[in-house]
Structure 1
Amino acid sequence: MQTSKDNDSDHNMEFASGNVQLITTKESWDQKLEQAKRDSNIVIANFSATWCGPCKMIAPYYSELSVKYQAIMFLLVDVDELTDLSTTWDIKATPTFFFLKDGKEFDKLVGANKPELLKKITAITDVALHNQ
């Protein structure tokens, strides 16, 4: 018999498929941001919750985007697992997507809005392509 902790882990795996990286500690958050800064990558951090309906709805789409846009680092933070980090980022609703460059927020999207998420990602990649 599985414990509820195992079920939570399995559930998070559904959220973090494709190239989405599940962040489970403050240390891994810091490491990923540092890595993105070194590689000059944009980071999209999805602050979500396993119990959140809209989060479940957009998770497969977020994973698809992570495969399509490999120059962007896609992170997933469970607000219930990392409450301190969520508080630091002042999360009021889930999902909340933060767009980060050099560890600093330059854009944000609150809610499971697929067209808006795609629009923001497309805008980022267009700018990146023009700057090469």
Structure 2
Amino acid sequence: MGSRKHKPFGLKQQSPPTYNTQRKKELNIDRSLVRSLFPCIKSHSASDGDDSAHNVEFAGGNVCLITTKESWDQKLAEANKEGKIVIANFSASWCGPCRMIAPFYCELSEKYLSLMFLTVDVDELTEFSSSWDIKATPTFFFLKEGEQIDKLVGANKPELQKKITAIADTQVACQTQPQ
């Protein structure tokens, strides 16, 4: 005797959401979570459209949220033109250590305006993040003229502060020396 499932009378069976519909909902949740965790981040998108999920600008801070490979390239070109060293934070909205260090990262971005602070969501830019060989989040890359000069894996506040201070001090020393 086989078992048969019966629909309750009068109820329509709903089809499951498509992958794209479900993913859009997840991304909207992730973006709002990112906004709440990184209040000083300015979202940066290469498009000029009115996509509020991407183009929301946050008060304060010097951190740009990178959402596309094009925006990454654009910010690196800008940093190179301005002679700025880039600190790129590869993180994830679900990552506890990433959430813990986010406010500190924002504070550092406000203190060291001569540096460019970027945040890349590893889930939103999966392929791009994989090309950087990310093994854990957060991972911070320090870039000069697009080349990696240092790296920090993990949410180690004292070590992050030490590396950023050393880079900023070196940058100031280079700018004040006669050429």
User: The TM-score by the shorter chain falls in which range?
Assistant: over 0.9
The structure that has the greater radius of gyration is 2
Q: Percent identity?
A: 65
Q: Which has the higher strand share?
A: 1
User: What is the TM-score when the length of structure 1 is the normalising length?
Assistant: 0.94
User: Deviations 1:37-78 (Å, cap 9, x if unpaired)?
Assistant: 111100000000011100000000000000010110000000
Say which SS state the counterpart of residue 63 (structure 1) adopts: helix
User: Deviations 1:102-126 (Å, cap 9, x if unpaired)?
Assistant: 0110000000000000000110111
Shift of 1:16: 5.7
Runs of 4+ in 1 over 2 A off after TM superposition: 3-7
How far apart in 2 are the matches of 1:128 and 1:100? Answer: 13
Greater relative contact order: 1 or 2 (C-alpha under 8 angstroms, separation 6 or more)? 1
Unaligned runs of 5+ in 1: none
Q: 1:120 aligns with which of 140, 163, 170?
A: 163
Q: Which has the higher helix share?
A: 1
Q: Which residue of 1 aligns with 2:95?
A: 52
**CA root-mean-square deviation:** 1.1
User: What is the TM-score when the length of structure 2 is the normalising length?
Assistant: 0.70
The letter for the 2-side match of 1:15 is F
Say which SS state the counterpart of residue 151 (structure 2) adopts: strand
1:5-44 equivalent positions in 2, closer than 5 A: 5-13=27-35, 14-15=37-38, 17=40, 18-44=61-87
How far apart in 2 are the matches of 1:74 and 1:6? Answer: 23
Unaligned runs of 5+ in 2: 1-24, 41-60
1:93 to 1:78, Cα distance in 2 relative to 1, 3 A:
same
Q: Which residue of 2 aligns with 1:73?
A: 116
How far apart in 1 are the matches of 2:131 and 2:39? Answer: 22
> Aligned residues, how many?
130
Shift of 1:8: 1.7
